[in-house]
Amino acid sequence: MDRKEPTTASKRPGMGATLYESGVSFRVWAPHADRVFVTGEFNDWSETSLFDESNGFWSADVEQAEAEQEYKYIIHNKEQTLIKNDPYARLLTHSAGNSVIFDTTYDWEYDIFHAPSWNEMIIYEMHVGSFTEGRNNAPGGFHSAIERIPHLKKLGINTIKVMPPSEFAGSFSMGYNPSYIFSVEVDYGGAGAFKDFIKEAHKAGIAVIIDVVYNHFGPGDLDLWQFDGWQENDMGGIYFFNDWRAETPWGSTRPDYTRQEVRSYIRNNVMMWLEEFHLDGIRWDATAYIRNVKGNDHDSNDIPEGWSLLQWINDEIKSKQPWAISIAEDLKDSEAILKSTAEGGAGFDAQWDGASVHRIRETLLAPDDSSRDMEAVKSLLEKRYGSDVFSRVVYYQSHDEVNQHGRLIKLIDADNPESFFALKRASLASVLLLSSPGVPMFFQGDEFLDIGRLEEGVFLNWSLADYHAGFVRLFSDLIHLRKNASGLSAGLTGQGLNVFHVNKKENIIAFHRWKEGGQRDDTVVVMNFSVNDVTDYRLGLPKKGLWKVRFNSDSKGYCGSFHDTAVFDFEATEEERDELPFSGTVSLGPYSAVILSLD
């Protein structure tokens, strides 16, 4: 059949390869090009002209092109002839391969999902490639991850944070080196598999948020580099800063936030994830390096256009997807990150509290009990950004710690992570995490005490989910209390906090959490950070009435080696203690915690 060659620029909207009823519209930004062609399977890899739209964009409607065909752009700039993948490609054969025309239509089966309120959100950080193991030691993908959704549903988590799944160089990566931000990693199964995963997670009542990287791109397999042949200072060309502002800790590939086309490239990517993929939120990697060249807080290295980009996109999210959460990993404790854009802030809903990971780890990794700092624990509990305790994401390890330093339980006892003391202190970390004010987040496998690092060839050991079934139950019990799933612990979903008891000598701390206050709302957490058993320990209580034991981490139901210290419900007595009008007594096993609520 004779091919019908286009004769004018496309009048259809959209960037990249956009399917329509009888062909494909191609559009690419190449402002310094003299001529641009598209080549692919639809024209036997010959050249089909794209037409200059007089604004730096080139386009055409190609009637013979269809879904699943491979293609590339040929860009002529004076003596240069460049063969490039589509920056907006929705699928690639691999990161150094060809772009693929992708049909974005998908059957969501009436996916009507409501993400959890942020005061009940519990985040499970997932690295898709190591969450399951593929064939022949290859990375796992979204379809194999679907098989583990029943485990996550039973565990009780209600939000999965997927580490960056955009196409990256090679087969294994943590994802923080994106080559093509619009394409889902082909080794994970591509966009269709990701949508399947999101749909199945939603069916299980689990929200999905995505980790995105806009502080740099690549640097590997980066066709964006000198995309249309133009550059200055031998740097990255139209998509990147071409001066000192390009420098990042990961290479000189910071996007040029001053160019509207680059700003739209990033904005369009965010909205694609939220609108087309039905995602429930965005976690932004290292936002300090979007707003400042050195990742500092408000100095001469500031990038005003990076700040305004964050504001613009967060305003877009609030306008079009107001239920979606936008989380910054800024790690500078800047309250301006969370202020509204009307107040000059960046407009984020929450930010990672990098100090939480250090305080929890330092407390539990201290070589002896006398080195454990209860004031540091108190400071961790009381920290907040502004007026909302749930604008803070707390964690004791994320992908960074697991990759760079190793898992907490392994660090507690490197020789024997199954030891009594390792298990005990790991359980205490879990209680502290899931009872603290803030949005708790833990890393995949923490619930069954996986000890593997996050590195190539290391996958979650799923046999531990059975071997440590008791510890999985401990996590599940804590999660259900944290969400107030049984209506017994509403205080853990509330703003109220009073750290009313700090015993530095015996390493005991107690705090009160409440939402509205009253029965099955007022919740008290008592924690013993020492190796000693504690019997009939009296401490203050905020109200009279029957206080019931909702959780005891020393239960043998969680681990056969635990002491199973007996803890009983009790009526508060009118005896002042800790500047509170009532008091009662509890017993605590070594490195243990008890959670009580007013019945």
Looking at the predicted structure, is the pLDDT value of residue 321 above 80?
yes
Cβ neighbors of 300 (< 8 A, separation 6 or more) are none
Q: How high does pLDDT run on average in the chain? A: 97
List, for residues 53-73, the tens digit of each pLDDT value: 999 999 999 999 999 999 999
CATH of 490-598 given 2.60.40.740, 3.40.630.30, 3.40.50.300, 2.60.40.1180: 2.60.40.1180
Tell me how far apart the alpha carbons of residues 542 and 526 are, in angstroms, rounded to a whole number. Answer: 14
Tell me which amino acid residue 337 is.
I
pLDDT digits (tens, 9 = 90+) for 467-480: 999 999 999 999 99
User: What does the pLDDT look like over 429-461, one tens digit per residue?
Assistant: 999 999 999 999 999 999 999 999 999 999 999
Q: What's the confidence (pLDDT) of residue 403?
A: 96
Instruction: Over range 252-276, report the average pLDDT.
Output: 98
The dihedral region occupied by 446, where left means phi > 0, alpha psi between -120 and 50, and beta the remainder, is alpha
Sign, CA torsion 213/350/442/405: positive
Same fold, 129-351 and 490-598: no
Per-residue pLDDT tens digits for 77-109: 999 999 999 999 999 999 999 999 999 999 999
Per-residue pLDDT band for 1 (boundaries 50, 70, 90) equals: very low
Q: Where are the domains of the chain?
A: 129-351, 490-598
Residue 3: pLDDT over 80 = no
Which CATH code is given to the segment(s) 129-351? 3.20.20.80
On the question of pLDDT at 528 being above 70, the answer is: yes
Q: If you average pLDDT over residues 328-352, what whole number do you get?
A: 97
- Mean pLDDT across 224-252: 98
In this prediction, residues 405-417 reach a mean pLDDT of 96
The answer on pLDDT for 181 being more than 60 is yes
Helix H or strand E encompassing 36: strand 35-40
pLDDT band at 111 (very low <50, low <70, confident <90, very high): confident
Looking at residue 2, what is its pLDDT? Answer: 57
Task: Give the closest residue to 180 by CA, choosing from 225, 243, 229, 232.
Answer: 225
Q: Per-residue pLDDT averaged across 508-526, rounded?
A: 98
Around 456, how many Cα atoms within 13 Å sit in the side-chain half-sphere?
6
**Looking at residue 542, what is its pLDDT?**
97
pLDDT score at 297: 87
Q: For the chain, what percent of residues have pLDDT higher than 70?
A: 99
Task: Tell me what percent of the residues of the chain surpass a pLDDT of 90.
Answer: 97
Read off the pLDDT band of 325 (50, 70, 90). very high
User: Cα angle at 303 between 298 and 307, to 5 degrees?
Assistant: 80
Answer yes or no: is pLDDT of 587 > 50.
yes
Q: What pLDDT is stored for residue 554 in this prediction?
A: 98
